[in-house]
Amino acid sequence: MRLTRKHIVPNPQRGSVLFSKILIANRGEVAVRIIRTCRRLGIASVVVYSEADAGSMAVEMADEAVAIGPSPAAQSYLVAEKIIAACKATGAQAVHPGFGFLSERADFARACADAGIVFIGPNPDAIDAMGDKIASKLRAVAAGVSCVPGFIGEIDGPEHAAKISAEIGYPVMLKASAGGGGKGIRIVHDPREIGENFAAVRAEAKGAFGDDRIFIEKFIVDPRHIEIQVLGDKHGHVVHLFERECSIQRRNQKVIEEAPSALLDEATRMAMGAQAVALAQAVNYDSAGTVEFVAGQDKSFYFLEMNTRLQVEHPVTELITGLDLVEQMIRVAAGEPLAFGQADLRINGWAIESRIYAEDPYRGFLPSIGRLVRYHAPESGERGDKIIRNDAGVREGDEISMYYDPMIAKLATWGPTRGEAIDGMAGALEDFHIEGPAHNLPFLSAVMDQARFRSGELSTAYIAEEFPQGFHGLAASAWQKDAMIAAACAMHRVQVRRNGHAVAGLRPARPRDEWVVVLNGEKRRVLLTQSEDGLQIELQDEDRTLVLDGIDWKPGRPVFRASLDGHAFAVEVAPAAEGFRMRQRAASARVLVLTPTSADLHERLPPRKAVDTSRLVVSPMPGLVVSIEVEPGQEVKAGETLCIVEAMKMQNIIRAERDGVIKTVNAKAGDSVSADEVLAEFA
Ligand code: ADP
Ligand code: ADP
Ligand code: MG
């Protein structure tokens, strides 16, 4: 991982003694992230791992690894005694808890101290003071921080809730005081809904946090989520590292974050920063932490909560400040004073982060799990004047398991301006390819291509407003159509030539490169010629020629890369009858490449219903059928498992794309099947 060093603040504590060995009480992406910094600082790393993570990337990368039991977190990553025992067994002097798991447990931080182990995070009293939303709001008010209007105290029942809500004025938000991760939150618009919602939040809070205390605050309509990163040391210094905006959320969970925020002007930024620092100072905060606010479009802002840990979206702050937050946490935990003051810090450029989740955007963001049959991420590093950084804890072949967070990776990009950071992100997402579990790459691409996102007019209602009917991809732009047509021509040409050679043996017939390309039903006559500049694709009815060069593709590859009129692009491709299924960013298309004769034939044939390929269940790759889970006559729902095909020692679950009744089953366990072979048919 490379951070921008353009702006690095010098660290004078050269000879200072940091830890020689740190244990990471976490897994996945954040464990890998922390190991990287340990390596750079010459500190040995130890990870703990559950059964599900035995072969993980973090385990492979760490200097030492300690097994801590079964896969469910409650029996492994959340058991403080096991973590402390692992520190003692390996001689680790300090523990970094990452985020989630034990990161915000004051009792764990205290247990570490009692065992003589340094907790790389804030002191336990600060965690206690900020860990509870009601308690932290009281502290915030006392520190002069502006809070969301509401009732800062425990609500004892539905009647109390109704009374307070009427005083505050609807809409209101009911929140679990112990809540986190978007859980235990309900918006209530109408007094008649208060009882039911109160019961729901109470039940959820009890279930998720074992604590059913609830409070109420005003629901700020159409707000933006803006948070301030703070950093303190054990010598009373606290600085802020500016803001991050995390308004692109789904069900109160962050999806896309950026730094800085397009909303803030310098005066508002400094006012928010000063309040965040005041709150941190009020609790002797001595590590990295985040003070979250909701902000109105008019730049009014209100404190929400403080997260006393490293935040998932910390990379965007690192990219605009040049600091390594994990390094800073380690240094201050070791007792070093901060090596810089507020005046030394400056915002450099713009950074964006996309959370790549295992979920199916086309099916209501249904969570998904499974093996990463293919996983290709863009390489981290500098690209001209942009930076790409992918934080992941997985490799191709790894499993996204049901036990933990469904995040596959965090992709961050940096550019001198917001527009350039977005361009970088759009390009990097295009370069990301995942097969196996469903993933939200098409959705993230869609947001990057939306004019509203580019304009910076964000709000936490963005996704609900922009995709009111759910996500169904975006229509292809004229440029995207050209790119997909050109890609189809180039791929078809390779296949035709290859088949020609195979069939004609020694005397390959020179194929005529004159075709009709049908993209989502739109026809175009094309003529291909190879020139020195690349493959020329003449669109005969439009008097235009597309020039494709730098073609990077071989039959069977799932991504086609090339340059169209000098503009690099990538398209995801899957073979389909007579052509390809393709995805370019958020636009999907079915592209057929026909000879003029067969296109004529298609025309002259009496209009016939297109073959409904959605009726066919085909094998996405050559492999061995492990099992068929359905039988003829069986009714299935979208998302249900139909069969399992094993390829390259990996099992791939083939799921129903829609609701329906199975008409025929054409394969059985033990059969070997080719790509696109029909396994079953819907009625
Ligand atoms: P917020 O800052 O609003 O709490 P985050 O997305 O940063 O939102 O985190 C949500 C909660 O889920 C936090 O408690 C965080 O520690 C936890 N969490 C988020 N992502 C992961 C992950 N990949 N692994 C473990 N815990 C996670
Ligand atoms: P969590 O601990 O789950 O992160 P937060 O209090 O940070 O809970 O709220 C999560 C998200 O819910 C925020 O990022 C914001 O989008 C939204 N939210 C929370 N409180 C309010 C409010 N009073 N008005 C409007 N939106 C809110
Ligand atoms: Mg929050």
CATH of the domain at 187: 3.30.1490.20
Report residue 573 as tokens: 């491709």
219 lines ligand 2 (CB under 6 A): yes
List the CATH number of the domain containing 551: 3.30.700.30
What is the predicted pLDDT for the residue at 502? 56
pTM comes to 0.85
d(CA 381, CA 514): 42
Find the CATH number of the domain harbouring 642. 2.40.50.100
What does pLDDT average to over the chain? 92
Answer whether residue 11 is part of any domain: no
253 & 336 share domain: yes
Average pLDDT score over residue span 19-30:
98
Instruction: Tell me: pLDDT of 417 over 70.
Output: yes
128 in a structural domain: no
Please check the confidence at residue 351 and state whether its pLDDT lies above 80.
yes
Distances (CA, A) of 542 to 5, 516, 538, 603: 49, 13, 9, 20
Q: Among 34, 99, 290, which is best to mutate for testing ligand 1, by the most ligand atoms less than 8 A from CB? A: 99
Q: Is the pLDDT of residue 3 over 60?
A: no
Residues 263 and 285 in one domain: yes
Phi, psi angle pair for 206, to nearest 5° = -65, -45
Give me 294's structure tokens: 């909701």
In angstroms, the CA 258 to CA 243 distance is 9
For residue 175, which ligand has an atom nearest its CA?
2
Residue at 139 is within a domain = no
Gap between the Cα atoms of 571 and 545, Å rounded? 20
Greatest CA span in the chain, whole angstroms? 89
What confidence tier does 8 reach under pLDDT thresholds 50, 70, 90? very low
Centroid of ligand 1 to alpha carbon of 98 (angstroms): 10
CB 304 less than 6 A from any atom of ligand 2: yes
> What is the model's pLDDT at position 513?
87
Please tell me whether residues 179 and 239 are part of one structural domain. no
> Of ligand 1's atoms, which has the minimum distance to the CA of residue 26?
25
- Does the pLDDT value for residue 321 go beyond 70? yes
Poorest-pLDDT segment among 22-26, 124-128, 560-564, 591-595:
591-595
Token pair of 103 as six digits: 């990161």
d(CA 468, CA 464): 5
pLDDT in tens, 244-258: 999 999 988 999 999
- Co-location of 373 and 445 in the same domain: yes
Give the pLDDT of residue 503.
55
- Rounded to the nearest 5 percent, the helix, strand and coil shares of the chain are 30, 30, 40
Q: Which of helix, strand or coil describes residue 344? A: helix
CATH number (domain holding residue 40): 3.40.50.20
Ligand 1 pocket residue status of 307, Cβ below 6 Å: yes
State the pLDDT at residue 208: 87
In angstroms, rounded to a whole number, what is the distance separating the alpha carbons of residues 668 and 310?
A: 50
Please work out, in degrees rounded to the nearest 5, the angle formed at the alpha carbon of residue 187 by the alpha carbons of 260 and 197. 145
How many A from CA of 312 to the centre of ligand 1? 6
pLDDT in tens, 615-637: 888 887 667 888 899 999 999 98
Percent of the chain past pLDDT 90, that is, above it, reads: 78
In this structure, the answer to whether residues 330 and 360 fall within a common structural domain is: no
Q: What is the CA radius of gyration of the chain?
A: 28
Query: Is residue 242 a contact partner of residue 347, using CB atoms and an 8 Å limit?
Result: yes
pLDDT the model gives residue 15: 47
Same-domain check for residues 489 and 590:
yes
- For residues 590 and 496, state if they share a domain: yes
Phi-psi region of 181 (alpha: psi -120 to 50; beta: other; left: phi over 0): left
pLDDT at site 612:
64
Residue 659: predicted pLDDT: 84
Distance from C-alpha of 99 to C-alpha of 257, rounded to nearest angstrom: 17
Say whether pLDDT at 143 is over 60: yes
Name the catalytic one among 227, 292, 305, 629: 305
Boundary-marking domain end, from 218, 238, 272? 218
Stretch 548-566: mean pLDDT: 95
* Residue carrying structure tokens 């990538």: 570
Task: Band the pLDDT of 541: cuts 50, 70, 90.
Answer: very high
- Judge if 27 and 59 occupy the same domain: yes
Question: Are 594 and 486 in a shared domain?
Answer: yes
Query: Tokens 């804030």 map to which residue?
Result: 122
Q: Which residue has the higher pLDDT, 193 or 677?
A: 193
What percent of the chain has a predicted confidence (pLDDT) above 70? Answer: 93
pLDDT for 478: 96
Minimum-distance ligand 2 atom for the alpha carbon of 181: 3
Residue 80 inside a domain? The answer is yes
Residues 305 and 376 in one domain: no
225 Cβ closer than 6 Å to some ligand 2 atom? yes
User: Token pair for residue 40?
Assistant: 């750079």
Domain's final residue, options 348, 375, 403: 348
The pLDDT-based confidence of 12 (bands split at 50, 70, 90) is very low
Tens of pLDDT, residue by residue over 436-485, are: 999 999 999 999 999 999 999 999 999 999 999 999 999 999 999 999 99
Q: What per-residue confidence (pLDDT) applies to 610?
A: 55
DSSP state of 147: B
User: Is the pLDDT score of 602 beyond 80?
Assistant: no
**Residue predicted with more confidence, 33 or 208:** 33
Residue 30 has pLDDT above 90, yes or no: yes
From the CA of 225, the nearest ligand is 2
Residues across the chain? 683
* pLDDT tier, 675 (very low <50, low <70, confident <90, very high otherwise): low
Ligand 2: residue of 252, 300, 312, 355 to mutate (most ligand atoms within 8 A of CB) is 252
Question: 267 and 251, same structural domain?
Answer: yes
What pLDDT is attached to residue 181? 79
Q: For residue 609, what pLDDT is reported?
A: 57
Mean pLDDT of 657-668: 89
pLDDT at 664 exceeding the cut of 60: yes
d(CA 91, CA 114): 15
Pick the range with the lowest mean pLDDT from 129-143, 237-251, 640-654.
640-654
Which residue range(s) make up the domain with 57?
21-120
Q: From the CB of residue 556, how many other CB atoms can be counted at a distance below 10 Å?
A: 10
- The last residue of one of the domains, among 326, 348, 370, is 348
Judge whether residue 509 has pLDDT over 70. Answer: no
Residue 514 domain flag: yes
Provide the CATH number for the domain around residue 278: 3.30.470.20
- In 509-640 the beta strands, taken as DSSP E runs, fall at 514-519, 522-531, 534-539, 544-552, 559-564, 567-576, 579-584, 587-594, 616-618, 623-628, 635-636
Of 227 and 150, the structure prediction assigns the larger pLDDT to: 227
Respond yes or no on whether the N-terminal peptide bond of residue 260 is cis (omega within 30° of 0): yes
Per-residue pLDDT tens over the stretch 206-232 = 988 899 999 999 999 999 999 999 999
Closest-CA residue to 29 (of 326, 351, 334, 393): 393
Mean pLDDT of the 240-269 span: 97
**144 assigned to some structural domain:** no
Q: Is 78 in the pocket of ligand 1 (CB under 6 A)?
A: no
Q: Is residue 461 part of a domain?
A: no
Number of domains in the chain: 6
- Which pLDDT score, from 0 to 100, does residue 608 have? 52
60 is known as an active-site residue: no
Across 370-385, b (16+ Cβ under 10 Å) vs e yields bbbbbbebbebeeeee
Q: What is the pLDDT of residue 644?
A: 86
Beta-bridge mates of residue 221: none
Average pLDDT on 523-546 reads 94
Ligand 2: residue whose CA is nearest its atom 17? 252
CA of 252 relative to ligand 2 center, distance in Å: 6
- Binding site membership of 254 for ligand 1 (Cβ less than 6 Å): yes
Q: Is residue 190 part of a domain?
A: yes
When mean pLDDT is compared over 3-17, 199-213, 293-307, the highest value belongs to: 293-307
Q: What integer pLDDT is reported at residue 1 of this predicted model?
A: 37
Q: Is the pLDDT of residue 330 over 70?
A: yes
Residue 116 sits in the same domain as residue 156: no
